[in-house]
């Protein structure tokens, strides 16, 4: 396979798999901002040193979600997605290993991985923060205490971080944890120039002045642990600001202020410990404080650690040796005291860092029941500097371990590939680095073991340690002794040789666990510090044990490897393209070294050791079929044809798998050479034919030229003959003209005479005509002026008459309206008075209910207080009893011990004293027994009192329950009274509207008056009953009276409830359609109209209908049910839209009048205001007018308007569900849209075509194989079919759907045009693709490849111009994303549905059998003809 112009996304596809080819491919892709590249399953990420936001937005996450690995362009999201899918499907934990040197982008890559895993897991936010956010918020704290400046990076992590994202069985994030490994403890005490110590020390020195004075700090140059290097500040970084930022991060993580003060007190104490210096004491091998300055720092350290100053000095300068005979204290010399000081500082800092990690993990939250996790490892890479010490030795040892794990995994993948294709691979050798690991970690002869042995001997130095290494490993092939040094040594790692300086190996490896240090800090008065040093077991605390940092490093590394071996690994190698940290700079030597250190070239070497080149049968025949044309003749098998070609060319060692051809290293180059020879011979043949064609073309041109010369000479001779003939003709013409001139002159003379006579006659006739026309014009003007005056006078008279008539008519109408308003005012006054009385009654009842509730609450509170007092007294007595019992037991034990102790010295005075002490103790025991009996008696009395109080409480509880029963009865009575009041008000309002509509200019009829009076009397009677009810102590009597009066109303409500239940059961069934009209919608509308449900203030039938519709559409995948209910809901909404009208100010409570145009109900309210008035529908309303039923508009109440709003929301919801299902599979659903209104069908297809446009266009931008010439022709043919379908579907269903495909149409048009290099940027962006952005055009231009004709993309000048425009638009967040977004909004409103649908006739709808025989639904039956 030839390398594409933009490089290949998987370097295993390269024909020449070697270091130059890999480097060239990475450089080519880096130039195009393609920073990710695969090498098999390994992802190589090159740091761009600039923002590329379009690669990490939510659109890109959506594209990579669930996509097969390798189908889309290489990306860090693809690796995370593969790990997540493997965990879900196989149930095995996965890990992602991110490695690289400082500045390669490991931390940013880790953040992107956690973002994508949080996107897939979808865990809800905890206290407003997701797991990924909580992990990232802990980074500032870990960086402050675990990062430091090194030679290559100002913020280098000096520890390994393994982030565990835990998942539950459903694949959702259930917790997370941060595991830290391999903290560089020796940096606390020893640093080299120009590096720095950990950031926290410098941050604390730059803290506010009161903090500095509090911890007695100063300039970093005054502290020994910081002034070993001349670097104290970082360029562009303010330590004071970083200190405040670290404090804020601690607050976010959940570290309290007291804990923060304790943490920084420990950090300050470490700095003061480093300034404690020792000098020789008076005794041999003893040490004392060097000067007053050391004494000050010792006292300050003791004050900060809250321990005794003298004890701290003894712990640093002395050791306690425990022997079977005695305990011996010995002094330390100044050197060993300094070692003890540094060991204490390293131990304190290590414990502090471990505490911070545990605190962060507890803040994030872990799931102990999680069985699946994805771990992300962020650890330092291979290091090789000019001076390499113990730190680089440990780091490179870690990378050797990880490289062995990496090699085994890569070889395993190769083995699985060969096994899958069933080829022989047993002879392939696998190079292992186990010998290097044995050199470092083997016991007892490894480097670490020898280093621990040297540290345990007091007289050992780095020179003796180096000599021991030279003697042990003098014949080891991985160990080299330098010629010019006696203390250095070289180890041949997998990434190259590293020269180590052993000067400080012993000092940096020592880490004593000193019992005196442990005992001192465990007894600290500060709970935080004592918590860092919990008490050790007794056998451990008796002596000081040596603890090696190298051995501990080895144990932590082994734990990390066990964790990685239990997971399925995925590898990401981060590469730093240059050391100046600037974009668009690619240093080949630097990148090649990183590829070697990262093991990428080792993976390529493993691949080359087997079969580095592998092609499918089709690809192999397509490329090398010209080498043996006879092998392709006939219908032979592809596998056989490939084998024939390879055998014909004499290749050996290849393998034929099930689907691929496997070639050894170099065989692909040999086949390419043979192919080049065949193509060269063919080119020579073509050149011969072309040259023949050119020579023939020249001959034809020469022959045409000779014929042209001959024709010119012959033409010249003909011209001479023609000139002679022209002279003869000219002579004849001169004679003719002379004769003509003479005849013409005589003719002109005669003509002039005739013209003079004619002119005189015509002038006389013209004067006569002009005189007549002048007289006629004057007469016409006089007539016009007169007629105009007459018409103007008539118009003014007519206008005055019309104004007088209009004024009289408007006055008549105004007087009529005034009478109507006066009548309504009189009627409203009477009703309002009755309503006010009822409101007073309700307020009084409400007040009594609240009073009863308050009394009940006070009683409960008093009971609770009394119980709490009894409980507290019982607890106090029990505690006192336990304390007395404990004292008694202790005294008995003391007395028994004294009695059993044998006398040491037989002296009379001591015996007397012991006897007196025993007597006093015996007397005290008797007193305690007496007090115990009294306390028991008191406890019994309190128990009796508590039982009596409990009985009283039970009686009070019974009374409270009886009170609760009475309260519920009273509330039920009040509720019924409110319902009766609401019914009376609604009936009054309906009667008033009928009276007004029947006689607007007259007073109410006598019948209406009697009805109103009767209603008013009933209201007064109800008011009287309600007033009398609270006054009576017995609540049952008014309740009986109310039940007696309410029996007819109750039976009527029960009947209406039964009818509603039957209606709900009926519409829950699938009733179908009657002449394209949904039966269920028509039945619901008829029933609601007949029951006058729209005009009542309170009813439950609307909620039950909405609940029935909601239950019916719960199964979102059943498209038949969704289409059925969309038809019913839209039809019912149309009927309500054309029938209901919003009531006035009296129909709605004030709290419901709010403007919410921005919400869904706001849009519905606006649509109510725009409802067309006066539209008649042929509906059943109980009356017949000449065979056609007419319906008046109903003034709807609040429940009806709310029902209409809910119905509108369900129309939008069902529409969105059908649209989403239709996006999944379009064809089977086309038949379901027959009963849906065409307006909704048009909207569905418009959004479906928009979805097709988004999916095709995004796939074109994300997949290189889609951005080819042949694929463009294929998609163009499909678009033609869609255009033909839109033409056949007509605008009734298709609408403007074709216009939604504008992006993909223009992109495909750009792919299939020829001569792209000749097109300018202006022609492309304005003529060919005006809709596409510069980012989209740049993406298509760089990914385009012609697999059919081999043409090229646009010219390099156009590409460079596009880059300039993209750089200018980089600050615009909208222009950064080149992907399209799918629009899932609802594209219509209620008014649109109302305008698009025709009138519906529901008079002939047959009711379903379930309610046809019920007498309560007789009104649904169609009228007889």
Residues in a beta bridge with 490: 480, 499
Indicate if 381 belongs to the active site. yes
The answer to whether 406 touches 430, Cβ cutoff 8 Å, is: no
Indicate if 350 belongs to the active site. no
- Beta strands at 1194-1196 and 1140-1142: parallel, antiparallel or unpaired: parallel
Annotated ligand binding at 40? The verdict is no
Annotated ligand binding at 103? The verdict is yes
> Which token pair is 1321?
């940027």
Catalytic pick among 6, 40, 375, 381: 381
Distances (CA, A) of 1209 to 766, 1064, 1151: 88, 20, 22
Indicate if 210 belongs to the active site. no
Residue 391 CA to residue 186 CA, distance in Å, equals: 8
DSSP 318: E
The answer to whether 101 touches 597, Cβ cutoff 8 Å, is: yes
Q: Which residues contact 705 (CB under 8 A, 6 or more apart)?
A: none
Residues in a beta bridge with 1142: 1196
Q: Which residues contact 116 (CB under 8 A, 6 or more apart)?
A: 61, 64, 76, 77, 80, 81
> Which token pair is 401?
């371990």
Strands of 299-353, DSSP E:
318-322, 327-331
Annotated ligand binding at 648? The verdict is no
Catalytic pick among 93, 95, 109, 156: 156
Residue 1130 CA to residue 1324 CA, distance in Å, equals: 46
Residues in a beta bridge with 178: 163
Residue 620 CA to residue 651 CA, distance in Å, equals: 15
CB atoms within 10 A of CB 372: 19
Catalytic pick among 6, 7, 40, 103: 103
Catalytic pick among 153, 461, 931, 963: 153
Residue 1243 phi, psi (nearest 5): -65, -40
Indicate if 107 belongs to the active site. yes
Indicate if 157 belongs to the active site. yes
The answer to whether 1098 touches 982, Cβ cutoff 8 Å, is: yes
DSSP 610: S
Annotated ligand binding at 100? The verdict is yes
Annotated ligand binding at 530? The verdict is no
DSSP 658: S
Annotated ligand binding at 825? The verdict is no
Indicate if 1076 belongs to the active site. no
Annotated ligand binding at 799? The verdict is no
Residue 273 CA to residue 579 CA, distance in Å, equals: 37
Which one, of 1192, 954, 952, lies nearest residue 1094 by Cα? 1192
DSSP 1324: I
Residue 1185 CA to residue 9 CA, distance in Å, equals: 80
Which one, of 428, 430, 439, lies nearest residue 400 by Cα? 439
Indicate if 566 belongs to the active site. no
Residues in a beta bridge with 1345: 1268
Q: What share of the chain is helix, strand, coil (3-state, %, to 5)?
A: 65, 10, 25
Residue 273 CA to residue 41 CA, distance in Å, equals: 50
| DSSP annotation string for 356-425 | HHHHHHHHH---TT--EEEEEEE-------SSB-HHHHHHHHHHHHHHHHHHHHHHHHHHHHHHHHT---
Token pair 């998609």 is found at 1275
Residue 189 CA to residue 1082 CA, distance in Å, equals: 87
| DSSP annotation string for 832-883 | HHHHHHHHHHHHHHHHHHHHHHHHHHHHHHHHHHHHHHHHHHHHHHHHHHHH
Which one, of 323, 276, 320, lies nearest residue 295 by Cα? 276
Catalytic pick among 34, 383, 400, 1300: 383
Catalytic pick among 12, 107, 590, 1351: 107
Indicate if 1221 belongs to the active site. no
Annotated ligand binding at 101? The verdict is yes
Say how many Å lie between the first and final Cα of the chain, rounded: 84
The answer to whether 449 touches 442, Cβ cutoff 8 Å, is: yes
**Known binding-site positions:** 100-107
**Known binding-site positions for ATP:** 100-107
Q: Which residues are catalytic?
A: 102-103, 107, 153, 156-157, 381, 383
């Amino acid at each position: 396979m030839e390398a594409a112009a933009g490089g290949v996304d998987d370097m295993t596809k390269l024909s020449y798999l070697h270091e130059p080819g890999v480097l060239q491919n990475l450089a080519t892709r880096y130039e195009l901002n393609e920073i990710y590249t695969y090498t098999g399953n390994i992802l190589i990420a090159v740091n761009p040193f600039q923002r590329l936001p379009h690669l990490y937005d939510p659109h890109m996450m959506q594209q990579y979600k669930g996509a097969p690995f390798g189908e889309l362009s290489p990306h860090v999201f693809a690796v995370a997605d593969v790990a997540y899918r493997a965990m879900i499907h196989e149930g095995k934990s996965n890990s992602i290993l991110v490695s690289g040197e400082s500045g390669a982008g490991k931390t940013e890559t880790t953040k992107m991985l956690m973002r994508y895993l949080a996107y897939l897991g979808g865990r809800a936010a905890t206290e407003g923060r997701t797991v990924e956010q909580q992990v990232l918020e802990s980074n500032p704290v870990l960086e402050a205490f675990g990062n430091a400046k090194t030679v290559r990076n100002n913020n280098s992590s000096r520890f390994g971080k393994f982030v565990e994202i835990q998942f539950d069985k459903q694949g959702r994030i259930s917790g997370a944890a941060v595991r830290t490994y391999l903290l560089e403890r020796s940096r606390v005490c020893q640093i080299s120039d120009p590096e720095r110590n950990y950031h926290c020390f410098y941050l604390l020195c730059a803290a506010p002045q009161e903090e500095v004075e509090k911890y007695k700090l100063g300039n970093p140059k005054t502290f020994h642990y910081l002034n070993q290097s001349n670097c104290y500040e970082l360029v562009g970084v303010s330590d004071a600001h970083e200190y405040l930022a670290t404090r804020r991060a601690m607050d976010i993580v959940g570290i309290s202020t007291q804990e923060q003060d304790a943490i920084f007190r420990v950090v300050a104490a470490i700095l003061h410990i480093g300034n404690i210096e020792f000098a020789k004491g008076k005794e041999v091998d003893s040490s004392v404080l060097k000067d007053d300055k050391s004494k000050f720092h010792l006292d300050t350290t003791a004050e900060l650690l809250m321990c005794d100053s003298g004890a701290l000095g003894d712990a640093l300068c002395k050791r306690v040796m425990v022997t079977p005979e005695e305990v011996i204290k010995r002094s330390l010399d100044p050197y060993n005291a300094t070692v003890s000081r540094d060991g204490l500082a390293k131990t304190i800092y290590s414990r502090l860092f471990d505490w911070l990690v545990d605190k962060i993990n507890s803040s994030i939250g872990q799931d102990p029941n999680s069985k699946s996790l994805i771990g992300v490892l962020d650890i330092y890479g291979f290091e090789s500097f000019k001076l390499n010490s113990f730190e680089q030795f440990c780091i490179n040892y870690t990378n050797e371990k990880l490289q062995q794990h990496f090699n085994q995994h890569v070889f395993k993948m190769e083995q699985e590939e060969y096994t899958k294709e069933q080829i022989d691979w047993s002879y392939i050798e696998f190079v292992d680095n186990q010998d290097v690991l044995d050199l470092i970690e083997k016991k007892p002869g490894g480097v670490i073991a020898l280093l621990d042995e040297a540290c345990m001997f007091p007289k050992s130095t780095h020179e003796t340690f180096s000599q021991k290494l030279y003697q042990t490993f003098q014949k080891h092939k991985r160990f080299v002794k330098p010629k010019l040094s006696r203390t250095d040594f070289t180890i041949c790692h997998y990434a190259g040789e590293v020269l180590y300086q052993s000067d400080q190996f012993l000092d940096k490896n020592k880490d004593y666990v000193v019992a005196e240090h442990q005992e001192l800090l465990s007894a600290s008065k500060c709970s935080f510090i004592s918590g860092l040093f919990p008490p050790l077991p007794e056998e451990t605390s008796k002596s000081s044990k040596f603890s090696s940092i190298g051995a501990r490093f080895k144990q932590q590394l082994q734990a990390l490897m066990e964790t990685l071996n239990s997971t399925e690994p995925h590898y990401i190698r981060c590469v730093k393209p240059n050391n100046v940290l600037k974009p668009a700079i690619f240093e080949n030597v630097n990148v090649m070294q990183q590829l070697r250190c990262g093991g990428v070239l080792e993976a390529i070497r493993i691949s080359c050791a087997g079969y580095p080149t592998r092609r499918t049968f089709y690809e192999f025949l397509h490329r090398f079929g010209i080498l043996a044309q006879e092998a392709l003749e006939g219908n032979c098998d592809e596998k056989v044809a490939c084998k024939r070609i390879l055998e014909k060319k004499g290749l050996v060692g290849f393998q034929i798998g099930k689907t691929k051809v496997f070639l050894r290293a170099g065989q692909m180059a040999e086949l390419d050479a043979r192919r080049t020879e065949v193509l060269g011979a063919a080119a020579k043949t073509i050149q011969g034919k072309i040259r023949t064609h050119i020579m023939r073309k020249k001959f034809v041109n020469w022959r045409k030229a000779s014929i042209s010369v001959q024709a010119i000479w012959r033409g010249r001779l003909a011209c001479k003959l023609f000139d002679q003939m022209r002279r003869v003709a000219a002579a004849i013409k001169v004679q003719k003209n002379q004769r003509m001139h003479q005849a013409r002159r005589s003719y002109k003379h005669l003509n002039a005479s005739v013209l003079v006579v004619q002119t005189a006659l015509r002038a006389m006739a013209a004067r006569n005509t002009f005189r007549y026309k002048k007289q006629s014009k004057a007469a016409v003007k006089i007539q016009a002026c007169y007629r105009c005056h007459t018409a103007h006078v008539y118009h003014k008279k007519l206008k005055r008459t019309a104004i007088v008539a209009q004024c009289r008519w408007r006055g008549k109408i105004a007087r009529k309206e005034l009478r109507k308003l006066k009548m309504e005012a009189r009627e409203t006054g009477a009703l309002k008075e009755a309503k006010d009385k009822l409101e007073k009654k309700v307020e009084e009842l409400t007040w009594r209910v609240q009073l009863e509730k308050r009394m009940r609450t006070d009683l409960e509170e008093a009971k609770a207080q009394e119980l709490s007092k009894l409980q507290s007294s019982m607890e106090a007595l029990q505690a006192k009893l336990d304390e007395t019992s404990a004292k008694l037991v202790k005294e008995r034990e003391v007395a028994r011990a004294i009695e059993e102790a044998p006398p040491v010295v037989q002296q009379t005075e001591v015996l007397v004293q012991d006897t007196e002490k025993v007597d006093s103790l015996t007397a005290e025991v008797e007193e305690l027994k007496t007090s115990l009996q009294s306390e028991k008696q008191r406890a019994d009395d309190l128990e009796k009192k508590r039982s009596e109080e409990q009985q009283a409480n039970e009686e009070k509880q019974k009374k409270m329950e009886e009170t609760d029963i009475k309260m519920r009865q009273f509330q039920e009575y009040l509720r019924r009274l409110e319902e009766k009041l609401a019914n009376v008000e609604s009936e009054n309002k309906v009667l008033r509207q009928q009276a007004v509509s029947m006689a607007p200019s007259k007073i109410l009829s006598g019948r209406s008056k009697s009805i109103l009076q009767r209603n008013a009397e009933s209201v007064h009677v109800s008011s009287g009953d309600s007033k009398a009810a609270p006054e009576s102590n017995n609540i049952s009597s008014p309740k009986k009276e109310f039940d007696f009066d309410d029996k007819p109303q109750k039976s009527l409500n029960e009947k209406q409830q039964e009818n509603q239940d039957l209606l709900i059961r009926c519409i829950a069934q699938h009733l179908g359609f009657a002449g394209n009209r949904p039966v269920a919608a028509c039945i619901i509308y008829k029933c609601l109209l007949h029951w006058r449900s729209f005009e009542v203030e309170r009813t439950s039938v609307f909620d039950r209908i909405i609940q029935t519709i909601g239950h019916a559409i719960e199964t979102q995948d059943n498209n038949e049910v969704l289409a059925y209910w969309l038809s019913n809901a839209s039809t019912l909404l149309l009927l309500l839209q054309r029938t209901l009208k919003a009531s006035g100010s009296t129909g709605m409570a004030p709290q419901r009048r709010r403007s919410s145009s921005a919400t869904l109900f706001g849009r519905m309210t606006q649509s109510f205001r725009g409802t067309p008035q006066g539209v008649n529908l042929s509906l059943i309303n109980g009356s017949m007018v000449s065979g056609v039923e007419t319906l008046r508009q109903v003034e709807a109440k609040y429940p009806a308007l709310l029902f209409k709003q809910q119905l509108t929301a369900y129309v939008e919801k069902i529409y969105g569900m059908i649209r989403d299902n239709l996006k999944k599979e379009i064809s089977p659903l086309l038949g379901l849209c027959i009963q849906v209104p065409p307006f909704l069908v048009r909207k569905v297809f418009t959004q479906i075509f928009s979805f097709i446009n988004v999916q095709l266009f995004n796939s074109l931008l994300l997949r290189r194989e889609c951005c080819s010439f042949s694929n463009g022709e294929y998609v163009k043919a499909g678009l033609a079919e869609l255009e033909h379908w839109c033409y056949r579907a007509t605008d009734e269903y298709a609408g403007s759907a074709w216009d939604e495909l504008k992006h993909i149409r223009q992109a495909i048009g750009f792919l299939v045009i020829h001569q792209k290099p000749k097109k300018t940027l202006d022609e492309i962006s304005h003529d060919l693709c005006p809709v596409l952005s510069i980012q989209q055009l740049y993406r298509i231009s760089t990914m385009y490849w012609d697999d059919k004709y081999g043409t090229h993309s646009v010219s390099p000048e156009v590409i460079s111009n596009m880059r300039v425009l993209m750089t200018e638009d980089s600050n615009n967040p909208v222009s950064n994303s080149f992907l399209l977004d799918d629009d899932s909004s609802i594209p219509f409103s209620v008014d649109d549905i109302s305008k698009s649908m025709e009138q519906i006739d529901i008079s002939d709808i047959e009711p379903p059998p379930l309610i046809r025989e019920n007498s309560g639904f007789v009104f649904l039956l169609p009228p007889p003809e």
